Amino acid sequence: MGEEVARPESADAAATRTDPPPADRQLSGEASGQTTTTAGPRNGGWTASSLLRGGVGRNLGLVIALVLLCIVGIVTAGDTFATSANVLTILRLAAVIGVISIGMTFVITGGGIDLSVGAIVALSSVWATTLATQQMAADFHWIFMVSTALLVGAACGLVNGLLVAYGKIVPFIATLAMLAGARGLAEILSDRQTQIINNNSFLDFFGASVIGVPVLVWMFLLVAAVGWVLLNRTTFGRRTFAVGGNAEAARLAGIKVQRHRVALYVLLGLCCGIAAVMLMARTTTGSATHGNLYELDAIAAVVIGGTLLSGGRGTIVGTVIGVLIFTTLNNVFTLNNLSISAQSVAKGLIIVIAVLLQQRLAARAP
């Protein structure tokens, strides 16, 4: 790769002929010197520590909120809250909405929005648990159920993407239509019945633990890690920022903007498929009522995580912390036997406080 990069001869040739830099601009040159030093720590390699330093550093407000929440949890329900079993419970509950939020981070960073994720989860779970699918799974392998869920999710995402990118329907409306359509289809398919999963090897696999950590949590961690790499280290991620930040400039730079938009929705659809599998494993059912209002939880987690709703800026680490905040909140309230309604009020407050904090800190950063 080295010699490929060193190639642009025309530029070098141009350089030798360019006039020497005018002396009068030294001031701006000096100013730049200062800014370069402050922009230092994100260079080069991507060790876990640089990930944490960069990610947590930029998400300081969120980390503070999460820590505060944990303190509240320890104070009010110390004996039950601060146990490894409870931490695993929180993570297990965070896993499903977490996987969706990772996909949502991509779509929002790319300048879109998806309201249909909950409905897609429902449809995927129903389709993957129909009698026919379960029969196939019983005959061959439970992987058949998984792939059905993933395919259905990705297909719904594809439809969303095509409507947005080529149908020129604004994302809000296109995915609102999918929300209604997918949930309706799920109800028709399931005849509004909860479909019990009787494939034990499926339930065993996803219900198991590895090194004491549930498979569902591993799946969430894996999706988050892959998402982080994809967003920050690949051409796909770079294009996502470009498309969300300035679609016209991206188009004129030769990026296939519409195709990329479709890919983003397919990616999110796929995440919904994965989330459906996880939900099926957790509830041992497929149902048209699964994933109700997940779209709001996912969008809230992504936005308090620091991803710009207007696109162009996004963070996976922030999203993960955002998801953990909401799940921990639920957990603390449940442990203290507080009502769901009080929980909602607190949720609203957290959204506002976290975003306010986030903005203050971002404004102060150089």
Q: Which residues bind another protein (CB under 8 A)?
A: 1-2, 4-15, 17-19, 21-25, 27-29, 31-36, 38-39, 42-44, 229, 233-236, 238-239, 241-242, 245-246, 248-256, 312-313, 366
Q: Cα 218 to chain center, whole Å?
A: 15
Q: Which residues contact 98 (CB under 8 A, 6 or more apart)?
A: 220, 223, 224, 301, 319, 320, 323
Nearest to 41 by CA among 33, 50, 32, 49: 50
By beta-carbon proximity to another protein, the closer residue of 39 and 143 is: 39
Shortest distance in whole angstroms from residue 50 CB to another protein: 12
Distance CA 249, CA 173 (A): 25
Residue 34 CB, nearest distance to another protein (Å)? 5
What's the DSSP call for residue 319? H
Least distance to another protein, CB of residue 41, Å: 11
Least gap, CB of 281 to another protein (angstroms): 30
Which of 19, 139 has the CB closer to another protein?
19
Q: Which of residues 35 and 47 has its CB atom nearest to another protein in the complex?
A: 35
We find the least distance from the C-beta atom of residue 267 to another protein, in angstroms, to be 13
Q: 100-122: buried (b, 16+ CB within 10 Å) or exposed (e) per residue? A: bbbbbbbbbbbbbbbbbbbbbbb
* Nearest to another protein of 308, 346 (CB atom): 308
Residue whose C-alpha is closest to residue 274's, from 111, 61, 128, 89:
128
Closer to another protein by Cβ: residue 192 or 238:
238
What H or E segment, with its residue span, contains residue 285?
strand 285-286
Amino acid at 23: A
- Give the CA diameter of the chain: 79
Q: How far is the CB of 268 from another protein (least distance, A)?
A: 18
Query: In Å, how far are 130, 138, 152 from 126, measured between CA atoms?
Result: 6, 17, 10
Query: For residue 222, what are the contacts with CB-CB under 8 A and spacing of at least 6?
Result: none
Q: In the complex, what is the shortest distance from the CB of residue 110 to another protein, in angstroms, rounded to a whole number?
A: 13
> Cβ closer to another protein: 34 or 198?
34
DSSP state of 18: S
Query: What's at 309, amino acid-wise?
Result: L
Nearest distance, CB of residue 1 and another protein, angstroms: 6
Instruction: Measure the CA–CA gap between 235 and 249, rounded to whole angstroms.
Output: 16
CB of 47 to another protein, least distance (A): 14
Beta carbon of residue 170, minimum distance to another protein (angstroms, whole number): 15
- Closer residue to another protein in complex, CB, 48/131: 48
Sign of the alpha-carbon torsion through 99, 102, 107, 113: positive
* 209 strand-pairing partners: 214
Nearer to another protein, 35 or 84 (CB): 35
Nearer to another protein, 1 or 210 (CB): 1
Looking at the Cβ atoms of 11 and 210, the one nearer to another protein is: 11
Residue (of 316, 330, 340, 302) closest to 114 by Cα position: 302
Reported residue count of the chain is 366
Residue 212: CB atoms within 10 Å: 7
